Chains A and B, each alone.
Chain A
Amino acid sequence: MLSVRSLACRRGKRLVFRDIGFTLEAGGSLLITGRNGSGKSSLLRVLAGLLPVFEGEISWDGVGVTDWRAHRTRVGYLGHLEALKPELTVAETIEHGCALRGCCNTGGVDLLGLADLRDRPVRMLSAGQKKRLALARLALSQTALWLLDEPASALDDKGQAMLTDLIERHRAEGGLMIIATHQPEDFKGARRLSLDGDPA
């Protein structure tokens, strides 16, 4: 169970958001909505441990996070930048992702309909295929909390369906899901947290 209390984030001289709090149980899902620039991406990055916590606290099962390395083992993050190397093939990208997490690849290329593309270099993939690849790599990282920043962008209907399927499977396994999105209608059955200051 993840709880966040009075979280604030500062980037440069600007206070991007403040006083953000929520609780997420196992299998739970949270959508972060808000205008451009309201701090959705920054919130995800703070939760991932990429940006420092300016104020507030993040806790797992009631225990505040002090060991960020342990926190990182439980968090998978997919940001705007997909972190794909154009020179690697699909299969190699998955392998590299697993090497970075220190886990083993268990035939993950078959996820999200990428099996046919396993030997294609990333630079020859379409935007939607790249997104699916990044999602597949995240899915294989065996992390409890998934932080997804606009995961549905660039995905067609089929891709969107695969994404929803993936999310549901992760939640069914007890995983936690936090998604920043402009289109909350794409994700059913999730609570919303708006960074605009208006009620969701």
Chain B
Amino acid sequence: MSISRFANPGQFMRLAERLMPFCAVGVILSFAAGIYVALYASPPDYQQGETVRIMYVHVPAAWLGLMIYLAMAIAAGTGLVAKHALADIFCTAAAPVGAILTALCLVTGSIWGKPTWGAWWVWDARLTSVLILFLLYCGYIVLRGSFEDHDKGGKAGAILLLVGVVNIPIIHFSVQWWNTLHQPASVLRMNGPSIDAGMLKPLLVMALAYVFYGGFVILLRMKTELLARRIEAAEMLQD
């Protein structure tokens, strides 16, 4: 009975085998292109000069951090309804990736902030929202990791993700409101008045690079997790 539950994951393994080399190549190519365009072929900001280039690392990291969380929440929902083991495997695999990218966004935001605003951290609406997203990731990772039983842990994690995803627009809205109520001393905009086309292209290329990177690592982690669970299941039936 337990072996049949892994039948679909077998298909996944074959799919992963085919996708991963594609992702790997994609990572190398798009990072190469992205770094070239970000560091050389795009204009410096008229206000911030060269430091604006941190944006090309910082912003796609935020996008991916959010995207991965949303993907995890969707997986959690379908996992609860369809009782598919692959959903939990995706969530456990993707969570640290999303967390690290979110942390990268926070760190690069801080590095960017020092020369630009003179402070290592500002409670600006977007940074604060990303900080809360990071806490959501940490909460999920710690909670999911505390369970030995995959069924129970999967369900607990799924509930946390679903309640969390409902909370994301609330967080975004409330933090933005909180920020405007308490007017910060200087009104700061991260990207300048409007995104210049010369800046948009490298941003998108870097975003693509991040997507390939995320895809590759998540697929790798999923494969590993799946194999680990098969070993567990085999060990259990041996008793």
Contact = CB atoms under 8 A, between A and B. Distances in A.
A14 B239 CA distance: 8
A12 B148 contact: yes
A13 B1 contact: no
B1 A15 contact: no
Contacts of B232: 13
Contacts of B149: 12-13
A110 interface: no
What is the interface residue range for chain B against chain A? under 10
What is the interface residue range for chain A against chain B? under 10
Contacts of B236: 10, 13-15
Interface of A: 10, 12-15, 55
7 contacts: A12-B149, A13-B148, A13-B149, A13-B235, A13-B236, A14-B236, A15-B236
A15 B239 contact: yes
B172 to A, nearest CB: 38
B1 A55 contact: yes
A13 B153 CA distance: 13
Contacts of A13: 148-149, 232, 235-236
Nearest to B148: A12
A38 to B, nearest CB: 13
Contacts of B148: 12-13
Contacts of A15: 236-237, 239
Nearest to A13: B236
Contacts of A55: 1
A13 B148 CA distance: 8
